[in-house]
Amino acid sequence: MHDEIADRSCSIYETAPTIARHEQRTRWVVALTGTTMVVELVVGTLTNSLALTADGWHMATHAGALGVAALAYWFARTRAKAKSFTFGTGKVNALAGYTNALILALIALLIMIEAGSRLFHPVPVNFAEALPVAVLGLIVNLLSVKLLDLDEDHSAGERLSGSRDHNLRSAYFHVLADTLTSVLAIIALLGGYYGGFLFLDPLMATVGSVVILHWSVGLCRGSARQLLDVVSSEEVTQKIRTQVESLGDARVMDLHLWELGAGRLGCIVSVMASVPRPVAEYRAAILAAVQIEHLTVEVERCPHHEAA
């Protein structure tokens, strides 16, 4: 006997409240970062403050990266029902997260190169002008971190499967990296202003860049696993296998589990039994243990010699 059933849930992107909140918060952070960038560039130009202008361009790079995250949410939402996307647009967010992780790593490497140059060839720093800029940047970044708080809410699907919204994580790490650099910059500027320690500026920049590079590598790995359909959780896979094989003499012959997006799983299960039960029973057993959006169950009867 060969029986197959597939379920394509309609609870795609636009009906997921958690993802909708992620998109809204990312937009707020883009607006906040963009506004700060414009203010710093305008005031820096009018006052001839190189420190202020430089920080404005630094904010511009992160505003661009956060803009990529917001654009990914918009693209995924507006094309959620497009038939050209077989399993929906959930992986658009993982792709944006991977892209932003690469941008984050590139920024960290560029800062490290510049910091190395300044360690051997110190550059005069106007501490009086730079310190207020660093404090302003810290305040803006702390507000952004609060808006993108990763621990504030996760969907039940995300908690169960262990999958994550890599687009939100990339945006979060961008503002977290800015927060870290602001804190280190304040430490370096205070040391330079009161103690004359010019080497603290490039040294703190190097320390921050190493930490940021570590974050970006972790984000690259996480989003790449989702893009490459790496098994999201061995624990969930085993739970599905146990549930199916608890029904009579059923055996799981083939099982594929992958992430369709944050908190959304797809699964294909091939079951063999000498006395097969209705497909609905196997489906009910699986869905009782794991929340799966797209589930395909295939049931076959064992050949007579194998059954014996």
Any idea what the CATH number is for the domain that residue 191 is in?
1.20.1510.10
CB 140 within 8 A of CB 113: no
Do 262 and 201 share a domain, yes or no?
no
Do 86 and 171 share a domain, yes or no?
yes
Calculate the average pLDDT of the chain. 78
CB 248 within 8 A of CB 277: yes
Do 174 and 92 share a domain, yes or no?
yes
pTM: 0.69
- Structurally, the chain folds into a number of domains equal to 2
Cα dist from 56 to 25, 88, 124, whole Å: 22, 38, 19
Q: What is the pLDDT of residue 160?
A: 46
Residue among 216, 183, 208 nearest 65 (CA): 216
Do 178 and 293 share a domain, yes or no?
no
- Tell me, rounded to whole angstroms, the distance of Cα 63 from its chain centroid: 16
Do 268 and 218 share a domain, yes or no?
no
Do 209 and 290 share a domain, yes or no?
no
Sheet containing strand 251-261, edge to edge, reads: 2-8, 294-301, 264-273, 251-261
As given in the structure block, the two tokens for residue 17 are 């409240």
Residue with tokens 């794991």: 290
Q: Give, in degrees to the nearest 5, the angle at Cα 62 between 64 and 136.
A: 130
Other beta carbons within 10 angstroms of residue 152's beta carbon come to 10
In the predicted model, what is the mean pLDDT of residues 54-63?
72
Do 154 and 245 share a domain, yes or no?
no
pLDDT in tens, 252-306: 999 998 888 777 888 999 999 988 999 999 999 999 888 888 899 999 988 754 5
Element (H, E) at 114: helix 90-120
Do 261 and 218 share a domain, yes or no?
no
Give the span between the Cα atoms of 171 and 157, in whole angstroms.
21
Residue among 59, 211, 207 nearest 133 (CA): 59
pLDDT in tens, 96-151: 888 888 888 888 888 888 888 878 887 777 777 778 877 888 888 898 888 887 66
Q: Is 277 left (phi over 0), alpha (psi -120 to 50) or beta?
A: beta
pLDDT in tens, 84-95: 787 777 788 888
Confidence band for 57, pLDDT divided at 50, 70 and 90: confident
Cα-Cα end-to-end distance for the chain: 17
Share of the chain above pLDDT 90, in %: 11
Do 173 and 238 share a domain, yes or no?
no
Which range of residues forms the domain containing residue 197? 12-227
Q: What is the pLDDT of residue 51?
A: 54
CATH code where residue 251 lies: 3.30.70.1350
Confidence band for 196, pLDDT divided at 50, 70 and 90: confident
Tell me which of 2 and 163 has the higher pLDDT. 163
Greatest mean pLDDT among 8-22, 165-179, 231-245 lies in 231-245
Q: Domain ends where: 196, 227, 258?
A: 227
Share of the chain above pLDDT 70, in %: 82
As given in the structure block, the two tokens for residue 218 are 């972790």
Lowest mean pLDDT, pick from 7-21, 23-37, 50-64, 111-125? 7-21
- Tell me, rounded to whole angstroms, the distance of Cα 278 from its chain centroid: 39
